[in-house]
Amino acid sequence: MLLPPPPGIIRSLRTGFDTVAAHITAILLPFAFDLFLWLGPHLSISQLFLSTLGDAKKMFADSGVSLTDIQKLDQVQESLNQVNLFSSLRTFPIGLPSLISGKGSAQTPLGAPLTFQVDTVFHFYGLIFLFLIAGWILGGLYFRWIAGLIAKSDSQISVGRTLIQTLAYSLIWSLLFWILGIPAAFIIYLIYMFNPLIGEGALLFLGFLSMWLVVPIFFSSFGMFVRKQNAVDSIIASFRMSRFIMPSSSLFVLTVLIIGIGSNLLWAVPPDNSWLTLVGILGHAFITTALLASSFVYYSDMTVWLQTVLDRMRSSMPTQQV
């Protein structure tokens, strides 16, 4: 039985980049987001933790902790000065891509940004919660926009369903992280403290396991935007599909990650107080949007290919039995 070849990686990338180049407004959301984080006001938490760090220094000094260790708290304070709470709008697993969110710049070409202080713990956690929800919503709309460029207009998921399924999907993965991820990390830490050799073996095993999980997790949200599935069905379908497409899909995901990470290193070269950073923001918005579009192309083509293969295998079974 002659089976059609799986979708090509190069073709998917070319189609994705051509689609975004033809619809350049698709980069507006990530571009505007990074522009806001770069030139807009900052939300600082340095004053909120200033007294806590001061108490920690006093406690360490009274306990006879070395001066070198106490000075590390000054480094923590410097890091807190760079934190912009608006960066928490960059959410996972669905969210707007951002070049600036992880840089923590305190300078721009226009000078020091306008900075507001978060003064209470209640405000801190409240803002984190609101930004998390807002980030998921913006990410869902962004994914819907890009998927709509690839799919037919009549098959596009509605805005209301996008918001509901995006929030459900993100909450599912957040719960799985807290239920499975945190305990697993704690257990590995205990194993490592008991026996470093066994701990390294556990980390190696976890690394191999994550390599197997990266493909189904990577595509786990795509069913919501391409096939109008709900969050649970989209995740399950991705894991089922990965059993058949793992080798070629692993290479595609690796290619996307290499292009994305490699280009980010280039875009991050200009200093934050240079207008050249604007070029980096623009390039990052285009590349990440094009890679997302390419991923939707690959997922759509792979879904059609897999269905074709399964149909041919089913149709050939009676003939083979006779």
pLDDT for the residue numbered 231:
96
**pLDDT band at residue 272 using 50, 70 and 90 as cut-offs:** confident
In this prediction, residues 246-269 reach a mean pLDDT of 92
What digits encode the pLDDT tens for the residues 100-123? 987 766 678 888 888 899 988 899
Q: pLDDT-based confidence at 322, cuts 50/70/90?
A: very low
Dihedrals φ, ψ of 116, to 5°?
-110, 145
Domain containing 271 equals: 9-43+87-310
- Is residue 317 one of the residues assigned to a domain? no
Q: State phi, psi for 220 to the nearest 5 degrees.
A: -65, -20
CA distances from 252 to 94, 138, 226, 284, 288 (A): 19, 26, 18, 19, 15
**Residue 272, domain member (yes or no):** yes
User: Is 74 inside a domain boundary?
Assistant: no
Tokens of 233: 């069905």
Name the domain count of the chain.
1
The reported pLDDT for the residue numbered 27 is: 98
Between these two residues, 23 and 45, which has the higher pLDDT value? 23
97 band by pLDDT with thresholds 50, 70 and 90: very high
Share of the chain above pLDDT 90, in %: 55
Does 48 fall in a domain?
Answer: no
User: Can you give the pLDDT at residue 18?
Assistant: 97
Check residue 193 and give its pLDDT. 79
Q: Is residue 239 part of a domain?
A: yes
Average pLDDT, the chain: 87
How confident is the model over 124-162, as pLDDT tens digits? 999 999 999 999 999 999 999 999 999 765 668 899 999
Question: Of 150, 83, 184, which is closest to residue 293 (Cα–Cα)?
Answer: 150
Higher pLDDT: 188 or 26? It is 26
With beta carbons less than 8 A apart as the criterion, state whether 101 and 135 touch: no
275 vs 107: CA distance, rounded Å? 12
Domain presence at residue 75: no
Return the DSSP state at 8: P
Q: Which of 152-161, 197-206, 232-241 has the highest mean pLDDT?
A: 232-241
The DSSP code for 27 is G
Q: Residue 108 carries which DSSP code?
A: B
Mean pLDDT of 252-262: 95
Predicted confidence at residue 275, as pLDDT, reads 93
Residue 58 lies in a domain: no
Asked whether residue 261 is domain-assigned, the answer is yes
DSSP 272-307: TTSTHHHHHHHHHHHHHHHHHHHHHHHHHHHHHHHH
> What is the b/e burial string over 55-82, where b = at least 16 CB atoms within 10 angstroms of the residue's CB?
eebeebeeeeeeeeeeeebeeeeeebee
